[in-house]
Amino acid sequence: MAIEHNLAGDAKPTTQSASLSQYFNDAVLMKSAFLCLIGFVCVTLLLDYQEMLTQDAYEAPVITPRRANPVLPAFKPATQVEGEEPEQTVAPEITTSSEVLNNPMTIELGSGGVLRMTGFIDVGTSEVFAKEVEGIDEYIKLVELNSPGGSVFDALAISTAIREFGWATKVSNGNLCASSCPIIFAGGKKRIAEEKAAIGVHQFFSFNENTRSPSEAISGTQSTTALITRHLDKMEVDPQLWVHALETPPQQLYYFSQDELKDYNLITAQ
């Protein structure tokens, strides 16, 4: 290295040496800044991805599909014996036609303050419900349900609204309240199920036009299950009720007995 000496005899780097040192110092600083930038981008992408998964879990419609016959076979998982076919019992008698049950839900105010909700819960039914009851909520005393289910998130929204209004809910003899419909039923301040009412649950699934990975589907199912159990608990219904939904195949229904409805507090004192 070239060294120049001052009058005192001290050595100091030449101008060329100082330039090289400054160059390497600048290179290190630029590299460090670049690595920090890469790290920041990676963290941002990770957070955006997690937010996307969470948003997808809550916004992807969770439904039960329309069926030719929504009165599905009864299923009692607890009685299943290993190596044997699951026991099926006779479904309660439903007096409403499958065609009516599969039509989009109708919401009509009848005499005595009874709001009748009949049919399939499509995505967006909660918005229709809000418009239908706007301005007439003071006349409504009881919501009578007759539905094979449908959109879980719409059911949660309708159930919450019913509780806020303080209305009662009812499933009459011969009527069906299945799949996500019991979530609406749980919203009643007072809940009535006649002896021959059919109230049942089964597994749901998420529907999304975009292809979802298995991990995303599982995440969505778990998030929705958490929402349902928290809602049931808030409605003073035993969340253990939903265990029957989790263990019942979607092509069947677990119909509750009157004793079970009372034990889970899904129906209140008559």
> Per-residue pLDDT tens for 192-213?
999 999 999 999 876 554 445 5
pLDDT reported for residue 218: 61
5 located within any domain: no
> Could you report the per-residue pLDDT of 28-68, keeping only the tens digit for each?
666 666 566 665 555 554 444 444 434 444 455 666 778 88
Instruction: Please say whether the beta carbons of 103 and 184 come within 8 A.
Output: no
6 located within any domain: no
46 located within any domain: yes
- CB-based contacts of 139, cutoff 8 Å, min separation 6: 109, 113
163 located within any domain: yes
Confidence of residue 190 (pLDDT cuts 50, 70, 90): very high
> Same domain, yes or no, for 55 and 161?
no
Task: Identify the domain containing residue 28 by its residue range.
Answer: 13-59
The CATH number of the domain holding residue 90 is 3.90.226.10
> Same domain, yes or no, for 75 and 157?
yes
pLDDT reported for residue 69: 83
pTM of the model: 0.73
48-57, 126-135, 185-194: the lowest-pLDDT one? 48-57
Separation between Cα atoms, residue 89 and residue 208, nearest integer Å: 33
> Same domain, yes or no, for 39 and 120?
no
Higher-pLDDT residue of 94, 61: 94
The torsion defined by the Cα of 87, 92, 95 and 100, in degrees rounded to 10, comes to -50
Pinpoint the alpha helices (H) of the chain: 15-59, 98-102, 125-133, 152-165, 181-185, 214-234, 243-246, 258-263
Higher-pLDDT residue of 175, 20: 175
Confidence of residue 257 (pLDDT cuts 50, 70, 90): very high
pLDDT reported for residue 21: 59
Tokens for 82?
């290993």
pLDDT reported for residue 260: 95
> Same domain, yes or no, for 119 and 73?
yes
3 located within any domain: no
Higher-pLDDT residue of 146, 18: 146
| Res 120 pLDDT > 50 | yes
pLDDT reported for residue 41: 52
Confidence of residue 104 (pLDDT cuts 50, 70, 90): very high
pLDDT reported for residue 65: 72
205 located within any domain: yes
Phi-psi region of 230 (alpha: psi -120 to 50; beta: other; left: phi over 0): alpha
- CB-based contacts of 233, cutoff 8 Å, min separation 6: 239
Instruction: Please say whether the beta carbons of 77 and 86 come within 8 A.
Output: yes
- CB-based contacts of 123, cutoff 8 Å, min separation 6: 61, 63, 150, 151, 153, 154
> Same domain, yes or no, for 83 and 169?
yes
> Same domain, yes or no, for 249 and 121?
yes
> Same domain, yes or no, for 132 and 210?
yes
> Same domain, yes or no, for 73 and 25?
no
* Average pLDDT estimate for 244-248: 93
pLDDT reported for residue 47: 47
Give me the number of domains the chain comprises: 2
Strand pairing report for 106-109 and 62-63: unpaired
146 located within any domain: yes
> Same domain, yes or no, for 68 and 197?
yes
> Same domain, yes or no, for 124 and 183?
yes
The length of the chain, given as a count of residues: 270
Tokens for 14?
């030449």
> Same domain, yes or no, for 19 and 153?
no
> Same domain, yes or no, for 49 and 83?
no
List Cα–Cα distances, 89 to 72, 77, 136, 252, 257, in angstroms: 11, 11, 41, 11, 12
8 located within any domain: no
Separation between Cα atoms, residue 121 and residue 76, nearest integer Å: 25
pLDDT reported for residue 116: 98
| Res 233 pLDDT > 70 | yes
